[in-house]
Structure 1
């Protein structure tokens, strides 16, 4: 780069001097020269002195500028390395320190209190969840569904059920996409409570709870319900999720319209559509919490 710059300076210098000389000759051509040889020698001498004085000066400036550019580029390279190291360290620290579920936040009863925490399931960005301590001292549970009363809060669209809605401390659904991420990352247990009548609660625990992705219409897989005395089957293995605005060949969206809520409906629901008892049962206050099977605590 330096040699190209120096060559460029030399060419420019020669060009300027030739123009100067041309103008001089043009201006002096009207006068006859008695000694052309002396005139040429004089011009060569002036040209040599000019090049010696000015070319070195310009080249010196280029050298200084080139050195400055090198120093700036070196500092920029060092700064980029520092930024990359800091970013990598921070990212790795976040990955190590951010819990994947409430079971890691509340591994036992003495680890903390129920409340709102951040978790980062596999392949997902962090998000807030409500964690509940286990009254028997086991791992904490992650709240995925809470309905405090019969109202229209759960009469939502397919998009809303996919993304989740509500408030963590009130009526709430975590969202089908997040539920899929949580259950696919690690085998989960499900604990479900349903209130019916004046103050009766039906409790159930499923040893396995898995929700498929959107391509399966969030197909449900459950095994080994511990409560064998359920009034109705709220959850059925291989059921698919339906909402009021989702068309299907099975027409199970009619159940979602009639019940006024999205759910894992099967053909069985159609047998109960005219049952007021079933309507109140399916819409009754409900909570659902999950935690990894690795907690291995039977309640």
Structure 2
């Protein structure tokens, strides 16, 4: 490659070198002419000095003998005129040489421009050499890829053989599918018969729904006012309470036996308990998540019969605690839904006793005895005193607590109520 590059470079540079030699010869000739011009100028100066001397001598001779030398002066004058003419010719020739010299200078400038362009060409050739090096590298990579291509061709042959086997399987499957299609037609005919039967049953169901609707219109007369009639059937049920009407409640028969209504539940922290008075009065939250049944419903449930309260607590390590009160009720709204508990039993300290006879407090209705609004401090409504020993409506996490023994450890809390005796419904 170096020999090819050298020969290619010599072929491209040879005309330029020849041109350089021609320019060099012209420059040498120009130097010779300039030397001749300088010699002519030197001769002219010498002759000029001689003429001056002769002229001075002639003047002196004329002064001494003007008349005798008159004819000689005329001859000398003619000679001087001739030499002056020659001097003008020499000057013109010098001007021509100067013009030639300027032309040579312009040629030199052009040559320099050509040299620069040739230098650019040389740089491009250098890049070309680099490209050839890259070409060799690509050639090696191409060889590697060719080997990889051969491997791929072998794999392709194997795949083709596999495809042929699969085609044979497909032909067998096609026969099977044809049999299945015929069987499907038989099933479709049977399905049509079944659909006709279903349509007939749908009509019967519509008639039954109409009858059920009629029954539902009269069944509200027998809707219970607690979860006791539902026994072991936990879940959401509809009850009717005087002063409130019909509403759904979550019945629980797993934690402490049958008949319990869940009035408050914290099991995941998805619900916001920073609510105003009107929202706590009405209740909020879905029954399958965190919720608060509502102060007015609690008041209506507990005002006509004695209810007991059961509080279920689960801490982070899985331990379970409970607190139970035998006479839970709250006052009406005019008296602030004040809390009443009754006797206590449980496997944890009686923290709710600190809140007994206290009115309910929210951030927009301050009924506690603290200097600040406790509902604002703890971001939740509760039966605060100054402020609390237990806050089961607080922010889920660090503030949800029951006394100091399990403070900041609660992960689940539920409040449930149940009538002490069965009521007529």
Range into which the TM-score falls when normalised by the shorter chain: 0.5 to 0.7
- Which 5+ residue runs of structure 2 have no aligned equivalent? 1-213, 392-396, 403-407
Equivalents in 2 of 1:288, 1:193: separation in Å? 7
Tell me the CA shift for residue 92 of structure 1. 10
Could you tell me which residue of structure 2 aligns to residue 102 of structure 1? 227
**How far 1:134 sits from its partner (Å)?**
4.6
Residue 247 of structure 1, CA deviation: 3.2
2:399 to 279, 282, 286: 279
What RMSD over aligned residues (CA atoms) do the two structures have, in Å?
3.3
Identify the structure with bigger relative contact order (alpha carbons < 8 Å, sequence gap 6+).
1
* Higher Cα radius of gyration: 2
The gaps in structure 1 that reach 5 residues or longer are 1-88
Query: Is 2:270 aligned against 1:145?
Result: no
Measured in 2, the distance between the counterparts of 1:155 and 1:249 equals 16
**Structure 1: which 4+ aligned runs deviate by more than 6 Å?**
89-92
Whether the 8 Å CA contact 1:114–1:133 is kept in 2: the answer is yes
Please say if residues 235 and 264 of structure 1, whose CA atoms lie closer than 8 Å, have aligned partners that are also in contact: no
Distance in 2 between the 1:293 and 1:186 partners? 8
* Compared CA separation, residues 264 and 135, structure 1 to 2 (3 A): closer
Structure 2 equivalent of residue 29 of structure 1: none
Aligned residue runs from structure 1 range 237-252, under 5 A = 237-248=356-367, 250-251=369-370
**What's the CA shift for 1:195?**
2.8
Equivalent residue number for residue 336 of structure 2: 217
Instruction: Count the aligned residue pairs.
Output: 198
CA distance in 1, matches of 2:321, 2:390: 22
**Displacement of 1:209 after TM fit?**
0.3
Is 1:126 matched up with 2:253?
A: no
- Which residue of structure 2 aligns with residue 293 of structure 1? 420
Q: Compute the displacement of 1:124 (Å).
A: 2.6
- 8 A contact 1:187–1:293 mirrored in 2: yes
The correspondence of residues 1-299 of structure 1 with structure 2, limited to 5 A, is 93-94=218-219, 96-106=221-231, 109=232, 113-134=233-254, 138-150=257-269, 153-227=272-346, 229-230=348-349, 232-233=351-352, 236-248=355-367, 250-251=369-370, 254-269=373-388, 279-281=399-401, 284=410, 285-294=412-421
Contact 1:256–1:263 (8 Å) recurs in 2:
yes
SS in 1 for 2:360: strand
Instruction: Give the helix-richer structure, 1 or 2.
Output: 2
